[in-house]
Structure 1
Amino acid sequence: MVRRSSSPLATPWGRLALTSLTHGHPVTVVTDPDMEPAMGRLLVALSTQVDQVAERRR
């Protein structure tokens, strides 16, 4: 059985942002418009620069 956490910090982006904050390395995440607003706010709160492209490339 695979157990998934509902915590945003359990996502790869959340772990990367937390690690970068801990070690003082800047991180920029480029995302499509489908990123959940809560995840974007969390990343910004963890000092991550979030750049959202205008449209999703197909």
Structure 2
Amino acid sequence: MHHFSTRKSWDTAVKHLARQRLLHDILTPQQIASIPRSNISRWKNETATKYAFVKLTTL
């Protein structure tokens, strides 16, 4: 029997918050813990222009 993990998609606003180092200002510790650290690290290193024309969701 094979086990496949479910891939999660993250809202672009969460990626922006990570890149701008604001996750801890907006999300609860439980919410942050649910995001893989590898994702947060990758988002922190993305260029600011990657989502240049994306409209952010209001949190």
Q: Same fold (TM over 0.5)?
A: no
TM-score of the pair, normalised by structure 2: 0.28
TM-score of the pair, normalised by structure 1: 0.29
Query: Which structure dedicates a bigger proportion of its chain to strand?
Result: 1
Higher relative contact order (CA 8 A, sep 6+): 2
Q: Which has the larger radius of gyration?
A: 2
